[in-house]
């Protein structure tokens, strides 16, 4: 069987599709090529709208799933064309799908994407719907990347924590000689981006420059950190269902200069990650960051400030590419599924045991 796999990831940031072509002939996997396909604005808007209840949800969700499958197919096709790789050389696509609801406490999680349609469009085997089996086994269904983090970044003699900062942030605790642990820490870029969109008309706060122009409002930060999620012990996961515009509206933000709110939201993400590292991953030597958060200089500085005894850097220092780790992870998970190997870690998700994840749509 070919050792070339495509991983497709579209996360809570709703910015687009990350596509990675990975060769697993050399463990733990070598990034061969990558491609980013931005979401059209109508797709982003509909994915955001479907995160809350509204009219005609069933038809709208099915229509968006089909549209997403077309975008995923386009991303995969352009990825292979750019790399000069024939479709026949690829074993499968691992497609996370677009999360629109994540409610493991109610026994479900929903990632849109229509894997069957994607298989028809690409002529490739597609593995999709990775979270559902873990939730069925009593788990959170997320995060699913810690097993891949362990394969890539665990090293004897160094206690590493990997922080993946997308829309939501999660950490993986790689303590030598101990089971791999991981969990969501709370908002990553989701609130930072939402506030920048509202006040700057931009999709993000470029390099955290706007946040750096303001000052952290300590009382506001304390009120936000009082949310019960931050005190929950792992396993735990979250999403836009919990951290969204309605959550922000609780705090009476109109009385603060917008740049100070942005500084506070950036500090919130950093404080939640740092607090989780100190409380649940005590004694970490290194915090290695991947995901979009690595491009927010103010966020990275806040992390270093709040973890003075821990080296804070990107996964680049350990040979990873910060922008493509998560897409690579879903290529890795697809490979495990086709080999009949479990992809989940019950120590991470809280499921009754490890499970083979995903639904397989043959080519």
Predicted TM-score (pTM) of this structure: 0.96
Q: How many other C-beta atoms are found inside a 10 Å radius of the C-beta of residue 16?
A: 18
What's the pLDDT score for residue 262?
A: 98
Beta bridge partners of 183: 171
Q: How many other C-beta atoms are found inside a 10 Å radius of the C-beta of residue 249?
A: 10
Cα three-residue angle 291-121-328, rounded to 5 degrees: 25
The pairing of beta strand 286-290 with beta strand 160-165: parallel
d(CA 269, CA 68): 29
Query: Which top CATH class is 4-142+323-361?
Result: alpha beta
Instruction: Look up tokens 């973890």; give the residue.
Output: 307
Beta bridge partners of 93: 6, 126
**What Rg value do the Cα atoms of the chain yield, rounded?**
19
Question: Which is nearest to 321 in space by CA: 348, 294, 344?
Answer: 294
The 10 Å CB-count burial string (b at 16+, else e) for 80-115 is beeeebeeeebbbbbbbbbbbbbebeeeebbbbbbb
Same fold, 4-142+323-361 and 146-318: yes
Question: Which is nearest to 327 in space by CA: 62, 53, 93?
Answer: 93
pLDDT at 1 over 80: no
Average pLDDT, integer, range 46-54: 95
What's the pLDDT score for residue 184?
A: 98
pLDDT digits (tens, 9 = 90+) for 176-232: 999 999 999 999 999 999 999 999 999 999 999 999 999 999 999 999 999 999 999
pLDDT digits (tens, 9 = 90+) for 229-266: 999 999 999 999 999 999 999 999 999 999 999 999 99
3-state DSSP helix/strand/coil percent for the chain, to nearest 5?
45, 20, 35
d(CA 131, CA 269): 24
d(CA 43, CA 35): 18
The answer to whether 270 touches 299, Cβ cutoff 8 Å, is yes
The answer to whether 212 touches 302, Cβ cutoff 8 Å, is no
Residue 14 DSSP one-character state: -
What element of type H or E holds 222? helix 218-225
pLDDT digits (tens, 9 = 90+) for 82-134: 999 999 999 999 999 999 999 999 999 999 999 999 999 999 999 999 999 99
Provide the residue ranges of all domains of the chain, joining segments of one domain with +.
Answer: 4-142+323-361, 146-318
d(CA 159, CA 313): 14
What's the pLDDT score for residue 157?
A: 93
For domain 146-318, which architecture applies?
A: 2-Layer Sandwich (3.30)
- Would you say the C-alpha torsion 353, 238, 46, 77 has a positive or negative sign? negative
């Amino acid at each position: 069987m070919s050792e070339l796999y495509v991983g497709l990831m579209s996360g809570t940031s709703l910015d687009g599709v990350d596509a990675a072509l990975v060769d697993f002939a050399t463990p733990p996997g070598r990034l061969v090529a990558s491609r980013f396909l931005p979401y059209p604005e109508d797709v982003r808007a509909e994915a955001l709208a479907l995160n809350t209840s509204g009219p005609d949800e069933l038809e709208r969700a099915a229509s968006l799933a089909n549209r997403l499958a077309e975008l995923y197919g386009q991303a995969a096709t352009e990825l292979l064309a750019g790399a000069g790789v024939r479709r026949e050389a690829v074993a499968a696509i691992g497609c996370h799908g677009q999360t629109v609801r994540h409610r493991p406490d109610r026994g479900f999680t929903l990632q849109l994407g229509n894997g069957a349609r994607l298989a028809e469009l690409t002529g490739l085997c597609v593995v999709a719907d990775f979270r559902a089996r873990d939730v069925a086994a009593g788990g959170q269904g997320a995060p699913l990347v810690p097993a891949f983090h362990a394969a890539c970044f665990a090293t004897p003699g160094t206690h590493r924590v990997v922080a993946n900062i997308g829309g939501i942030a999660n950490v993986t605790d790689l303590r030598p000689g101990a089971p791999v642990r991981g969990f969501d820490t709370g908002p990553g870029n989701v609130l930072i981006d939402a506030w920048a969109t509202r006040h700057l008309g931009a999709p993000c706060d470029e390099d955290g420059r706007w946040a750096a122009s303001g000052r952290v409002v300590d009382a506001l930060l304390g009120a936000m950190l009082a949310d019960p999620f931050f005190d929950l012990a792992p396993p735990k996961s979250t999403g836009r269902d919990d951290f969204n515009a309605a959550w922000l509206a609780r705090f009476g933000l109109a009385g603060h200069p917008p740049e100070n709110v942005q500084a506070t939201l950036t500090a919130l993400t950093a404080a939640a990650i740092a607090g989780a590292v100190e409380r649940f991953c005590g004694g970490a030597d290194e915090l290695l960051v991947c995901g979009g958060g690595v491009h927010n200089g103010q966020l990275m500085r806040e992390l270093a400030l709040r973890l003075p005894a821990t080296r804070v850097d990107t996964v680049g220092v350990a040979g990873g590419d910060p922008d493509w780790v998560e897409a690579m992870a879903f290529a890795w998970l697809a490979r495990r599924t086709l080999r009949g190997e479990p992809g989940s870690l019950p120590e991470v998700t809280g499921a009754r045991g490890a499970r083979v994840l995903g639904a397989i749509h043959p080519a």
